[in-house]
Structure 1
Amino acid sequence: KHSVTRNLISLESLGNGLNLSRREVRGSNCTPRSNIVFIKAHKCASSSLQNIFIRYGYTHDKVFVLPAKGNYLGHPSLFRRSIVPNASVFGHEYNILTHHSRLNYEEMRALMPRDTLFLTIVRHPVPLFESMVNYFGLEKFFHMKLRFLGKSSRVSSKAWKSRYYGKLGLNQMLFDFGINSTHLSESTVHIETVKKHIKKLDRVFDLVMVAEYMDESLILLKNLLCWEMDDIVALKVNARTKKQELSKEAKEQIKALNWPDLMLYVYFEKKLKLQIMQFGEDAMKKEIVQLKKRVQFWYDFCVEKEYQRSVYGNKVFSFKGKNLNHTTCYFLTTPELTLTEFIRKKQLQQFPGSVYTEKP
């Protein structure tokens, strides 16, 4: 089997192609951007970012690409524009796609305006995999115990070949990014194949944020979109109250199982660090200080208290809101599914025909 170390060889040469030209530091005279595709990768702190895009789109009367029900746009199938109404039906272009969908660049590009920015976020595969397995209760499905990984527990063939409801499994980020990634962990897959996928994704995305550098990612996002600081304020949503501590052996096993995702993460982590340097470390620190002040302001204004609620049998942090007549407070403290239903109803009133009332 591939060793993790060997699979990270040549990342220096891969990284030499990092294209930072599209991420120039913007001045104060820039024009806000609002045509966005955000690929919401599972368990990558993506719900907080989605909240930002939903809040901005709602307050600026933007048109969302929305499913008829729930919060999945065709996933686990690749996105197809046929699953949503043609924009000519309701006389307005789509502006924001931010619900769970698997990247299909050609179809999304055909649906969205020409100046659409493609955005996403990645997370280190070890905490991602732990979070995904425990959040969705996948140990039984995969016939493996995380606490025994790397020791007595053997990884079943089901873990290699299957996805939970077709959606969740190994190399989750690459899968969400449109690549049939279940087979990528097999020893027959060459490192060059994975590198080609990563290079292609680098050409597609205008910004790849990193969960472990959330503050810096948000500042780069604000800079790219030419938004105000309050536009990128977010609270930590869907975060579990307890996380499983993994042994060193288990972590290494997870890296080995998800080595293509690890390559993806290392590449875009390196790229983000270069973007932070380009932005200016002192300027970044000042921006982060301002961001934290605004987050604290809105937390104090909008949150009455924190509490725990149960999701898939997990205890997750939630917020009991106050001042809910204020749009920002309502959006910051309301769960994703409730918000999605809220904007779906509002959009159908404002732009009749922009959302299917039943699945096509």
Structure 2
Amino acid sequence: MSSKSCHPRRKFVFIKTHKTGSCTAVNIFQRYAISHHLSVLMPTGGNMLAWPFPPAEEDYVHTPDEQYDVLLSHMVYNKTWLRTKFPANTAYISIIREPSSHLRSAMNFYRLPELLKIKSKNPVQTFLQDPWKYKDLFEAYFDFCNVTWDGTRNFLSFDLGYPTDGAEDKERARRYTGQLEVDFTTMLIMENLDESLILLRRLMCWEVRDVLYDMTPKNSRNYSYKEYVSTAEELANLRRWKAVDYLLYDTFNASLWRKIAAQGPDFHDELRYFKELNKRVSTYCDKRTKDEPDLTVAASKWNSEFQPHLWNKCGYRQWSFNKALKPSHESKKPSISKPLDKKKKTVNATIPYIQGVSEKLRRILQNFNIATNFKPHSTLRQKLVHPKDRVQKGTKSDVIYRLKCEGPQCNDTYIGETSQPLKAS
């Protein structure tokens, strides 16, 4: 059970990143918020809080006192904005995954091969041969807020607040990643989710029952290149292309194991207990029938006795979570708790026009209520207008020239100036 010397932390922000197993992880925080009657900052529509833009006042449901305990949405990490909504003792948590597998998942989910005009059977392999070749095909620029997004590049870092245009700035990336280490209480690693959750439990002073999760895969999809293992050359290209994401992942993966080592040997005893209990409870929740007797989990060193169905360990659908946490005062004060406009806010994005690609990207962005404007990738002026013919070097006048002595014993050089055309001999 949790140590008597600490108190459970009940103010936390979970930045829900894309294609990282965040749908599985967020259910843990949803259950905790409902079980402990916490005030959740809720988006006005769906589970995205203004992503990929900075939040505005009309983007979330306001409480009368503007006091919030928890945030659990997709949003771009915005330290300045979050500090105005949550107190200084708030825990910040997120989840990331290995960038190579993240690219494969994003490539399939967002149908990137279509947008990038890659027709091979293994689009990841084709893409990794030369990622820079496709740079302008999936980069979207939102001029109203000066935000650029590229789903193929540093997507993880983008969700955690790092700008796309900083992809080549190694020093800036190191400084930002170092600051994230300071800002975040812990970062869950998808490939080591169980270890991450036990560390989370200890840092938050929760009980093991609070971090159980449904082991049934969420949003799992099968596709031909899902298990593709890149060559050394392809991985080298990817590490350069997604350099910030790799820096982020390597930093927090090392941090995870460093913090675990500091926990002592009983961490692994708890981890074994957690794995067994999680499998047992997940199976019970998945296969439970109406006539089946209730499961009672005995007290242990890391949790008190509980029954999963009473402690909401059998999970929530997103709609039930939204309903449970919908503020009861919403209908009483429409001017505060509802958006300023019943219509969804529309924003504009400007992207280069590439026939057959830009149209598909526009359809994707429409799902986020983003109106897309096209700009020409090249213009007639660029192709047709050449005000002057190119002047050959030998016919130029008013030039400075250098002549080198060509004799075998001569190393002298003469530098002169002439207003006459310099004709090559």
**For this structure pair, what is the TM-score category when the shorter chain's length is used for normalisation?**
0.7 to 0.9
Query: Does the alignment pair 1:263 with 2:218?
Result: no
Aligned to 1:240: 220
The Cα of 1:338 is off from its aligned counterpart by 2.6
For structure 2, the 5+ residue unaligned runs are 143-147, 289-306, 346-425
Equivalent pair of 1:36/1:95 in contact (CA under 8 Å): yes
Aligned residue identity for 2:13: V
1:251-273 C-alpha deviation (Å, 9 max, x unpaired): 44332210111011111111111
* Separation in structure 2 between the aligned mates of residue 351 and residue 62 of structure 1, nearest angstrom: 20
Matched residue SS, 2:253: helix
Task: Note the alpha carbon deviations across 1:57-102, whole angstroms, 9 max, x for none.
Answer: 0111111111111110010002355633454x1x462111011011
Q: Is the 8 A contact 2:48 2:73 kept in 1?
A: yes
Conservation of the 8 A alpha-carbon contact between 2:28 and 2:212: yes
Is the helix fraction higher in 1 or 2?
Answer: 1
Confirm or deny that 1:69 pairs with 2:45. Answer: yes
Give the deviation of 1:37 after TM superposition.
Answer: 0.7
For 2:247 and 2:324, the matched residues in 1 are separated by 37
**Following superposition of structure 1 onto structure 2, how do residues 283-322 of structure 1 map, counting pairs within 5 Å?**
283-304=266-287
Is the partner of 2:133 in helix, strand or coil?
coil
Q: Is the CA contact (8 Å cut-off) linking 1:46 and 1:121 kept in structure 2?
A: yes
Q: Percent identity?
A: 22
Instruction: Work out which of the residue numbers 216, 230, 237 in structure 1 matches 2:195.
Output: 216
The alpha-carbon deviation at position 166 of structure 1 amounts to 5.1
1:155 aligns with 2:155: no
Find the counterpart in structure 1 of residue 166 from structure 2: 184
Report the count of equivalent residues: 307
CA contact (8 A) 2:214 2:314 kept: no
| CA distance in 2: counterparts of 1:167 and 1:152, whole angstroms | 16
- Using CA pairs below 8 Å that are at least 6 residues apart, which structure has the higher relative contact order? 1
| Higher mean C-alpha displacement, 99-108 vs 110-119 | 110-119
Unmatched runs of 5 consecutive residues or more in structure 1: 1-25, 306-322
Distance 1:143 1:355, change over 3 A: farther
Q: Structure 1 CA distance, aligned partners of 2:25 and 2:57?
A: 23
Distance 1:152-1:229 versus aligned 2 partners, 3 A rule: closer
Q: Which residue of 2 aligns with 1:317?
A: none
Give the whole-Å Cα distance in 1 for the aligned partners of 2:102 and 2:211.
23
Letter in 1 for 2:3: G
1:273 to 238, 254, 257: 257
8 Å Cα contact 1:122-1:210 kept in structure 2: yes
- The 5 Å alignment of 1:136-175 reads 136-144=110-118, 145-151=123-129, 155-159=133-137, 161-162=139-140, 168-175=151-158
The 1:350/1:61 distance shift into structure 2, 3 A limit, reads: farther
Which residue of 2 is the match for residue 8 of structure 1? none
Residue 279 of structure 1 deviates from its aligned partner by 0.8
Change (3 A) 1:190 1:179: closer
Secondary structure at the residue paired with 1:208? strand
Counterpart for residue 101 of structure 1: 75
* Aligned match for 2:3, one of 17, 23, 27: 27
- Structure 1 226/256 Cα, relative in aligned 2: closer, same or farther at 3 Å? same
TM-score, normalising length: structure 2: 0.65
Shift of 1:195: 0.7
| Other structure's SS at 1:279 match | coil
